[in-house]
Amino acid sequence: MIKLSGIEKYFFAGTPNQVLALDNINLQIQRGDFLTVIGSNGAGKSTLLKAVAGVISVDAGSIKIDGLDVTAHPEYMRARDIGRIDQDPMASTAADLSIEENLAIAYLRGQKRGLARAVTSQRTGYFRDTLRNIGLGLEDRLKVPVGTLSGGQRQALALVMATIARPKLLLLDEHTAALDPKAARQVMEITERLVQQYKLTTLMITHNMEQALRFGNRLIMMHRGRVILDISAEEKGKLTVAALVDRFTSTSGTVFDDDRALLA
């Protein structure tokens, strides 16, 4: 279980430009939950994921993973338990290394072993079987540099890398936002397949309200650093995008201002 208690994060603290980016966030995520996260511009969505991953520190509150308080743990220590993908297909992979080498690095995340020892014949077979599971034909291109892949292929590979060590938590920060519609649909299909197959606890930010309603068993909406809506699978299954926007407006008292979410 992932438990966030009283999380607060300030940017530019103590200056006239001080911003409260996360305001008393309290959230419990059960093992196997797939949460979609949506919200207005500047709501704190990405800040929340960065705080959980240890990319940024928090100013108050605690973060626990399976009962272990990781609040003070740096990013590299949390990486053993957390898989993470950002928007940029180039960010989660090493372009100059082969597909096989990228997978080997991901497989040994958190372990002190060199790349030369990471690639073995046994692991190569495992990598090939794992790639075959996503259906893009990458299992026959293990020696190919990742930089030669398309954005969609790289993001699909990043998904495999993020999940290959079966993390306790998978964090997805608008991981289809930079892709064309066809590639985005393909990557989301792979995402859903891997999350279900490995029963991964997942927190996914999306700017696409249709995605937020379609995927996962729970939806949270953020506004001005707070979680203002927490919607169960049963409830969100009955919602339309228009109804979700109305819920946001009535709860926050403001008009939803993310055009990307409304036009996607």
**More confident of the two residues 262 and 214:** 214
Question: pTM of the predicted model, to two decimals?
Answer: 0.92
Q: Note whether residue 166 is domain-resident.
A: no
31-89 residue pLDDT tens: 999 999 999 888 999 999 999 999 999 999 999 999 999 999 999 999 989 999 999 88
Sheet of strand 218-223: strand arrangement: 82-85, 169-173, 202-205, 34-39, 218-223, 226-232
Is 62 part of a structural domain of the chain? yes
Question: What's 24's domain CATH number?
Answer: 3.40.50.300
Q: Is residue 210 part of a domain?
A: yes
Q: Is residue 245 part of a domain?
A: yes
Alpha carbon of 124 to those of 42, 87, 127: distances in Å?
A: 42, 28, 5
Structure tokens at 114: 């060199």
In this predicted structure, what is the pLDDT of residue 111? 65
- Asked whether residue 86 is domain-assigned, the answer is no
pLDDT tens per residue across span 92-139: 899 999 999 999 989 887 666 666 666 777 888 999 999 998 999 999
Provide the 10 A C-beta neighbour count for residue 238. 9
Q: Is residue 148 a part of any domain in this protein?
A: no
Whether 252 has a pLDDT exceeding 90, the answer reads: no
Is residue 109 assigned to a domain?
Answer: no
User: Is 209 among the domain residues?
Assistant: yes
Domain assignment of residue 8, given as a range: 1-72+203-264
pLDDT digits (tens, 9 = 90+) for 183-228: 999 999 999 999 999 999 999 999 899 999 999 999 999 999 999 9
Total number of domains in the chain:
1
